Amino acid sequence: MAERFLFLLIFGGVGAALLLIAAFLWIRVRRFVAEAFRGEGTVVGFAESRGSKGGTLYAPVVEFTARGGGVRRFTDPVSSSPAGYSVGQRVEVLYHWQDQDRARLASKFRLYLAPALLGFIGLIFTCVGVGIMLFSSGGLDAEW
């Protein structure tokens, strides 16, 4: 009995925590998109970083002109290998109306990657925790 509770606590607790974090991030992204201005930018380069397996990852560095006329530059937080964009490529940009340095590429994949990934992993952990509790306590007939 104690082992089942421990599994439920570990898997269910971690899953629920990941689902809450995913929901929080999803709400933040939705709020940012709702409050952001859209503009057009240009990929001017790449920020290189080392991947976990030793390879090089590339994050696009984008330059855009905000509504006030100031030129802004930002590095997108999502890196890839190979680079997902080309230098000189025109891209759609979202930037916050009050803080124009808070800018992101207007790609649904790039905006919602973290909430979707955390939500998916959280859902798996939660289902495993609930499944272990149901099948090990005799709540469902495991013999089908």
pLDDT digits (tens, 9 = 90+) for 10-42: 888 899 999 999 999 999 999 999 999 999 999
Of 7-11, 79-83, 88-92, 125-129, give the lowest mean pLDDT range: 7-11
Looking at the predicted structure, is the pLDDT value of residue 140 above 80?
no
Looking at the predicted structure, is the pLDDT value of residue 144 above 50?
no
Name the more confident of 108 and 6. 108
Q: What is the reported pTM?
A: 0.76
- CA 132 – CA 137 distance, rounded (Å): 8
**Quick check: 21 and 129 in contact, CB under 8 A?**
no
For Cα atoms 77, 113, 8, give the angle at the middle one, nearest 5 degrees: 120
Name the more confident of 6 and 95. 95
Q: For residue 79, give the amino acid letter.
A: S
Name the more confident of 134 and 16. 16
If pLDDT is split at 50, 70 and 90, which confidence band does 1 have? low
Looking at the predicted structure, is the pLDDT value of residue 91 above 50?
yes
Q: For residue 124, give the amino acid letter.
A: I
Give how far Cα 68 sits from Cα of 37, 39, 92, Å: 12, 12, 17
For residue 77, say if its preceding peptide bond is cis, omega within 30 degrees of 0: no
Looking at the predicted structure, is the pLDDT value of residue 83 above 60?
yes
Name the more confident of 78 and 120. 120
